Amino acid sequence: SQQGEEDPQALSIQEGENATMNCSYKTSINNLQWYRQNSGRGLVHLILIRSNEREKHSGRLRVTLDTSKKSSSLLITASRAADTASYFCATVEGLNYGGATNKLIFGTGTLLAVQP
């Protein structure tokens, strides 16, 4: 099952510009995570924001969460060509809060292309 959708589906920007991706989800969540996937590779965890948090920063990444709207955004500042990848939001479903055994459900993804 798919949790939600991401917008835009594809984004092309110039190096140095900022990239913003949006994610909407459908159910109540404990946390929302963002992952990056380079073409044909596995996923790399970028950042996690809990349901009681509204904004979080990590390096050039900024994530916001609006639980009333069931939406999140990922901002990548001062983009680089190496940021070219697909970006996915994912939410944790399940009731087990004792460990990482809850299902992680992914959004549809945004393909980001950063032109040098």
Partner 1 sequence: GAVVSQHPSWVICKSGTSVKIECRSLDFQATTMFWYRQFPKQSLMLMATSNEGSKATYEQGVEKDKFLINHASLTLSTLTVTSAHPEDSSFYICSAGGGFLRFDYGYTFGSGTRLTVV
Amino acid at 7: D
Q: Give 2 or 115: the residue with its C-beta nearer to partner 1.
A: 2
Confirm or reject binding of residue 111 to partner 1 (CB under 8 A). Answer: yes
Amino acid at 101: T
Q: Please state the closest distance from residue 66 (CB atom) to partner 1, in A.
A: 19
Query: What DSSP line would sit under 67-89, residue for residue?
Result: TTTTEEEEEE-S--GGG-EEEEE
* Contact positions vs partner 1 (CB under 8 A): 1-2, 30-31, 33, 35, 40-45, 48, 50, 88, 92, 97, 99-109, 111
